[in-house]
């Protein structure tokens, strides 16, 4: 099962950076040089294209120009940071095998909740290929290992903090089995518009799933039945843990696609009529991850900024 560290790095690597391992840049206009490694306009255009498509922006429309320019600058900053992280990993002789990349690809597809054929269709809709995805996953694994060495061990959650969180939130923490329904929006749909319609009551969750979802059991309203909470994909479990019975989540990234989940019901195991103020081992582990997440993200940003401050970066955009 993935940890938050893996989910965080995956989101940063795939959703923001859009670049693979350090390699020679193609001949094109250079828009940034990072410790001697180039980033070209062509690479930036390729990295930002999926986000432009998702937001349904038109590069030919003057009205969209400012928003597209802001996206490009944001993406360039992320590409520079990722380049610096990959260079640091290279200095520390961090590398991964093809077998590790293959295993990560299988986990990534499984966690997307899409069939392999649908996964490849969604990749194609975003202008990506399995080879490009493998490069990005390789970069993700390398970055995970770098963070494991330099960041994760510096983030501590104490038993006292776990117990305090449990006492305050014990009634809100789903445990045992959860009955959920899931919508995975295809890349060519306006996920935000559908989510707004669900929230406003203009369309029911199940009806929306039947009409648009590319996820499992779409024709059954996305109903996935009762599942063990611990068996859910990490990003899905994280969303479910924030919900109370009957609530629908906001949009979140389900690997390649935007998604929403509806917590229809939850059933705690009989042994989890937990007595006292001490959570069981599985609940304690989930609470530790909840508490660790924002601290890990802050430490990761701090570490990235430290590397950035030491780097020689020449932006020519």
Can you give the chain as a three-state secondary structure string? CCCHHHHHHHHHHHHHHCCCCCCCCCCCCEEEEECCEEEEHHHHHHHHHHHHHHCCCCCCCHHHHHHHHHHHHHHHHHHHHHHHHHHHHHHCCCCCCHHHHHHHHHHHHHHCCCCHHHHHHHHHHCCCCHHHHHHHHHHHHHHHHHHHHHCHHHCCCCHHHHHHHHHHHHHHCCCCEEEEEEEECCCCCCHHHHHHHHHHCCCCHHHHHHHHCCCCCHHHCCEEEEEEHHHCCHHHHHHHCCCCCCCECCCEEECCEEEEEEEEEEECCHHHCCCCCCCCHHHHHHHHHHHHHHHHHHHHHHHHHHHHHHCCEEECC
**Exposure of 287 in the CB half-sphere (CA atoms within 13 A):** 24
- Dihedral pair phi/psi, residue 62, rounded to 5°: -60, -30
Domains defined for the chain, CATH in brackets? 4-155+292-315 (1.10.4030.10), 176-267 (3.10.50.40)
Q: What is the pLDDT of residue 175?
A: 65
Give the Cα separation of 22 and 251 in Å (integer).
Answer: 32
What was the pLDDT predicted at 263? 95
What pLDDT score was predicted for residue 281? 83
pTM, two decimals, is 0.70
Residue by residue, pLDDT tens for the chain (317 residues) are 445 444 444 444 444 444 444 444 445 799 999 999 999 999 999 889 878 877 788 999 999 999 999 999 999 999 999 999 999 999 999 989 999 999 999 999 998 999 999 999 988 887 788 888 898 899 989 988 998 888 887 888 999 999 998 888 776 666 678 999 999 999 888 899 999 999 899 999 999 999 999 999 999 999 999 998 888 888 898 899 889 899 999 999 988 889 999 999 988 765 444 455 678 787 888 889 889 888 988 999 999 999 999 999 999 98
Compute how many other C-beta atoms are within 10 angstroms of the C-beta atom of residue 220: 13
Chain Cα centroid distance, residue 147: 16
Write down the pLDDT at residue 186: 92
147 within 8 A of 172, measured Cβ to Cβ: no
Residue 29 in contact with residue 41, Cβ under 8 Å? yes
The pLDDT assigned to 70 comes to: 95
With both helix axes pointing from N to C terminus, report the angle between 281-310 and 159-169 in degrees, rounded to the nearest 10. 120
Q: Bin 255: left if φ > 0, else alpha if -120 < ψ < 50, else beta.
A: left
């Amino acid at each position: 099962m993935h940890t938050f560290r893996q989910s965080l790095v995956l989101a940063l690597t795939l959703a923001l950076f859009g670049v693979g391992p350090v390699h020679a840049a193609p001949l094109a206009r250079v828009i940034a040089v990072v410790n001697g490694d180039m980033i070209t306009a062509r690479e930036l255009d390729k990295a930002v294209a999926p986000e432009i498509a998702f937001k349904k922006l038109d590069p030919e429309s003057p009205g969209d120009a400012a928003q597209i320019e802001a996206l490009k600058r944001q993406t360039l900053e992320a590409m520079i940071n990722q380049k610096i992280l990959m260079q640091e990993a290279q200095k520390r002789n961090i590398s991964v095998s093809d077998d590790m990349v293959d295993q990560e690809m299988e986990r990534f597809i499984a966690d997307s909740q899409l069939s392999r054929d649908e996964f490849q269709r969604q990749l194609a809709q975003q202008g990506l290929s399995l080879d490009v995805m493998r490069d990005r996953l390789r970069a993700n694994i390398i970055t995970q290992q770098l963070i494991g060495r330099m960041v994760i061990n510096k983030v501590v959650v104490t038993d006292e903090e776990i117990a305090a969180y449990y006492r305050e939130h014990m009634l809100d923490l789903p445990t045992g089995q959860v009955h959920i329904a899931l919508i995975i929006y295809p890349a060519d749909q306006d996920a935000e518009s559908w989510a707004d319609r669900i929230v406003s009551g203009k369309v029911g969750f199940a009806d929306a799933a039947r009409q648009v979802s590319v996820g499992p059991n779409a024709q059954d309203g996305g109903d996935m039945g009762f599942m063990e909470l611990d068996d859910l994909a990490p990003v899905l479990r994280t969303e479910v843990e924030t919900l109370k019975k009957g609530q629908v989540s906001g949009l979140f990234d389900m690997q390649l696609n935007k998604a929403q989940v509806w917590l229809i019901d939850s059933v705690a195991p009989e042994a989890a009529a937990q007595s006292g103020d001490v959570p069981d081992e599985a609940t304690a582990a989930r609470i530790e991850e909840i508490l660790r997440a924002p601290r890990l993200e802050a430490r990761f940003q701090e570490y990235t900024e430290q590397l950035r401050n030491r780097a020689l970066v020449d932006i020519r955009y």
